[in-house]
Amino acid sequence: MKMTLARFTTAPSVSAKLAARARNAAKSKIKILVRYVLILYREEEMRFSGLSVRQLEAFEATMVAGSVSGAAIALNVSQPSVSRLLQELEIDTGLSLFDRSHGRLVPTEQGLLFYGEVGKTFHGARNLIMAAQEIRELKRGVVRIGTLAAMSFNIVPEAIQRLRTRFPEARTTIAVRSSTEIVSSVASRLTDVGLVDAGVSFLDAKCVATFERNSVCVMDQRHPLAESERVRLEDFSRYPFVSLGELYFRRSRDGARLLEVTAANTVADIFQSFLACALVRGGRSLAVVDPFTAGFYSEFGLALRPIEFDIPFRISIIVNDRSATGAAAGKVIEAMTDLIGR
């Protein structure tokens, strides 16, 4: 009984050891297989990482033309260059793409299958290259411009014309707003370039340039003062005055003096230069406005004359302080800087 029991108890022990060895051996084989697969995958990954667009172009052209010579003509390169690119492609992919026996280049089964995949993926890569070129040439994207009304008559349109002369497909949007609204929009990255009153707080916007021009007097071209070279401060007391309001004039000492001189003969208080220009047309009223609006309206029956005192009009070009300025926006800023400063 003891011997039988001993045999009965030791037999499962031997089987367990054998099973354990088998499991360990299987695990080892699996580990080796996994390592081998990973090595192959890495080799394939490294191999395919060497693919170039030129290789794929040469392969596609050869498949379409049916010969290396035809591909060379299509790509405007030499036949040896095409042959070299095809050989490099076969090395990098590990595929035999062509049968070169009997002096002919015949696609293999692997070559035909690979050509089908090239048709799906290579054209996508070509589209990416074209997209990159279009982005470089400013054919994509939009330059968003926020501007005061005063700069929307000549400066902004001329800046856009300069941009489109160099980059015909560049797109722009223009929003005429107040300075505070433009600053907020630029700070929020909703506007790329802003033209604002230099006296406002820029918040998270960055000022790239500030310009100062003296205001001018506008009047109907038949006005008695249209014969004068300059308009003096005392001249404003003799004619009706259209005022842009205290905010515009009290920034300077001479502006405050003008308000005093015209207090008795001010006929309208408005806050837009173009409205002031419209109101003086056809009458005897005078107005003092920015030179950009006045320059535009001089083509519509108004005369503009320099004033003998200083009421500065200051304008700033702003961009977002936390993001890079795009190429198209940079061209617009360059044009604006030149136009305002001339």
The total domain count for the chain is: 3
Structure confidence at residue 288 (pLDDT) = 98
- The whole domain housing 105 covers 53-136
Q: In whole angstroms, what is the distance from residue 146 CA to residue 315 CA?
A: 13
- Same domain for 277 and 243: yes
* Spans in the chain with pLDDT lower than 70: 1-50, 122-123, 125-126, 130-131, 133-141
Mark whether 228 and 206 lie in a shared domain. no
Whether residue 83 is found in the same domain as residue 116: yes
104 with 183, same domain? no
Cβ-proximal residues to 277 (8 Å cutoff; 6+ apart), any chain: 218, 287, 289, 293, 294, 297, 302
Residue 187 domain flag: yes
The alpha-carbon radius of gyration of the chain (Å, integer) is 39
Q: In sequence order, which ranges of 49-108 are alpha helices (DSSP H)?
A: 53-65, 68-75, 79-93
Q: Same domain, yes or no, for 222 and 306?
A: yes
Q: Which of 116, 136, 156 is the last residue of a domain?
A: 136
Residues 130, 275: one domain? Answer: no
How many whole angstroms separate alpha carbon 15 and alpha carbon 99? Answer: 56
Q: In angstroms, rounded to a whole number, what is the distance separating the alpha carbons of residues 17 and 24?
A: 10
- 196 with 235, same domain? no
Q: 114-134 pLDDT, tens per residue?
A: 988 887 776 676 677 766 766
Please, are residues 261 and 240 in contact by the beta-carbon 8 Å criterion?
Answer: no
What pLDDT, on the 0 to 100 scale, is given for residue 1?
Answer: 37
The pLDDT value given to residue 46: 40
For residue 328, the model assigns a pLDDT of: 85
Q: What is the pLDDT of residue 332?
A: 93
Say whether both 63 and 188 belong to one domain.
Answer: no
Q: Are residues 58 and 104 in the same domain?
A: yes
Q: Cβ contacts of residue 190 below 8 Å, gap of 6+?
A: 144
pLDDT tens for each residue of 276-298:
999 999 999 999 999 999 999 99
- CATH number of the CATH domain containing 149: 3.40.190.10
User: Can you read off the two tokens belonging to residue 181?
Assistant: 């609204």
Q: What pLDDT, on a 0 to 100 scale, did the predictor assign at position 104?
A: 79
Return the pLDDT at 124. Answer: 72
Same domain? 103 vs 247 = no
Q: Which of 114, 136, 158 is the last residue of a domain?
A: 136
pLDDT at res. 295? 93
Q: Are 289 and 218 in contact (CB under 8 A)?
A: yes
Residue 224 within any structural domain of the chain: yes
* The token pair that represents 38 in the structure block: 């990973």
Does residue 203 sit in the same domain as residue 321? yes
Domain-located, residue 5:
no
> Is 26 part of any domain?
no
Helix (H) or strand (E) holding 17: helix 2-48
CA distance 277 to 270: 11
What pLDDT score does 100 carry?
A: 82
DSSP state, residue 154: T
- Is the four-CA dihedral 335, 337, 339, 342 of positive or negative sign? negative
Contacts of 17 (CB under 8 A, 6+ apart): none
Note the Cα 276 to chain centre separation in Å: 37
Closest-CA residue to 258 (of 274, 242, 282): 242
